[in-house]
């Protein structure tokens, strides 16, 4: 089977390429420019020069190689996980995800692509009692910041679902942890907890679901054969913020996290929502 990945150079993309190659798939990857070619070759993917934001280039590339499946891993996240950098990158990341999704979907039909896998999110479900499964809607009411984030994923999935002639799989990942991610002892979150920059907000009752980056790659590879639909890609230990953050701080060699009231938290509504009311 021939697989085309858009966004193969990211943390999950690199592991996914290796997993697919080990499973004897032919793996190709969109390369924004010739500068991206060496890195993609190093992980075992055949580079295909086409900027995901150039609709004509994407259509030509997909039509030429005619893959059996396309996996959309397009993101434009900042190097460091801080409120300032995340806010600065938000519009750029949305543009890459939304326009890249539009361009890939437009190219699928003419190339007779059978299956489309989309990187979505498992941490924007509407608050409520108990854990959320795939039938729970995304947040529709909240701060403008929170609504905008949830709306992006809703838009991505809705457009793909409305595209006829393809088998669509939405992969709703939890928070990635493991090598190459923010959530490691050596990563951004490890540094921040050692500096006591990540507090428990309020009672810290918001539930987070994580997934190891290798497990996420394995689940993505398996999704090439699963029934179409939406799937939460998470581990089996969803935990409220006050539990997982305390355990993470201990593993990172940090002191116990500080606490801050909801009223005094001033670094973004997304973190507030996740830490106090979110279910995952």
Residue 268 has pLDDT above 80, yes or no: no
The set of long-range contacts for 263-272, using a CB threshold of 8 Å and a minimum separation of 24, is 265/199, 265/201, 265/202, 267/83, 268/83, 268/86, 268/87, 268/145, 269/142, 269/143, 269/145, 269/146, 270/145, 270/146, 270/149, 271/83, 271/201, 272/201
Percentage of residues in the chain with pLDDT exceeding 70?
A: 99
For the beta carbon of residue 24, count every other beta carbon within 10 angstroms.
7
pLDDT at residue number 43: 93
Q: Give the pLDDT of residue 79.
A: 82
Least confident of 20-24, 79-83, 88-92, 225-229: 79-83
Report the percent of the chain where pLDDT is more than 90. Answer: 79
Distance CA 118, CA 14 (A): 16
Looking at 3.30.360.10, 3.40.50.300, 3.40.50.720, 2.170.190.11, the CATH number of the domain 2-181+210-237 comes to 3.40.50.720
Give me the pLDDT at residue 280, please.
67
**Per-domain residue ranges of the chain:** 2-181+210-237
Confidence band of 278 (pLDDT split at 50, 70, 90): low
More confident residue, 172 or 109: 172
pLDDT in tens, 204-253: 999 999 999 999 999 999 999 999 999 999 999 999 999 999 999 999 99
User: Whole-prediction pTM value?
Assistant: 0.94
The whole-chain average pLDDT of the chain stands at 93
Mean predicted confidence (pLDDT) in 23-48: 94
Q: What share of the chain is helix, strand, coil (3-state, %, to 5)?
A: 40, 20, 40
């Amino acid at each position: 089977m021939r697989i085309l990945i858009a966004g193969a150079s990211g943390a999950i993309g690199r592991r996914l390429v290796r997993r697919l190659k080990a499973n004897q798939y032919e793996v190709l990857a969109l390369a924004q420019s010739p500068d991206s070619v060496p890195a993609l070759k190093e992980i075992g993917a055949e580079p295909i020069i086409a900027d995901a934001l150039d609709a004509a280039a994407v259509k030509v590339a997909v039509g030429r190689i005619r893959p059996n499946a396309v996996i959309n891993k397009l993101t434009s996240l900042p190097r460091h996980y801080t409120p300032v950098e995340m806010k600065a990158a938000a519009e750029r990341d949305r543009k890459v995800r939304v326009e890249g999704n539009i361009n890939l979907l437009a190219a699928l039909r003419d190339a007779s692509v059978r299956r489309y896998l989309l990187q979505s999110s498992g941490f924007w479900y509407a608050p409520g009692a108990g854990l959320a499964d795939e039938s729970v809607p995304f947040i529709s009411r909240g701060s403008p910041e929170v609504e905008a984030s949830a709306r992006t994923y809703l838009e991505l999935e809705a457009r793909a679902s409305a595209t006829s002639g393809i088998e669509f799989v939405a992969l709703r990942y939890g928070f990635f942890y493991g090598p190459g991610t923010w959530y490691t002892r050596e990563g951004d979150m490890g540094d921040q907890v050692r500096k006591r920059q990540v507090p428990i907000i309020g009672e810290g009752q918001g539930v987070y679901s994580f997934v190891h980056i290798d497990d996420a790659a394995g689940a993505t590879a398996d999704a090439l054969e699963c029934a179409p639909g939406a799937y939460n890609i998470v581990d089996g230990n969803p935990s409220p913020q006050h539990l997982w953050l305390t355990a993470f701080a201990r593993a990172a060699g940090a002191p116990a996290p500080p606490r801050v009231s909801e009223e005094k938290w001033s670094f973004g509504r997304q973190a507030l929502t996740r830490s106090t009311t979110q279910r995952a």
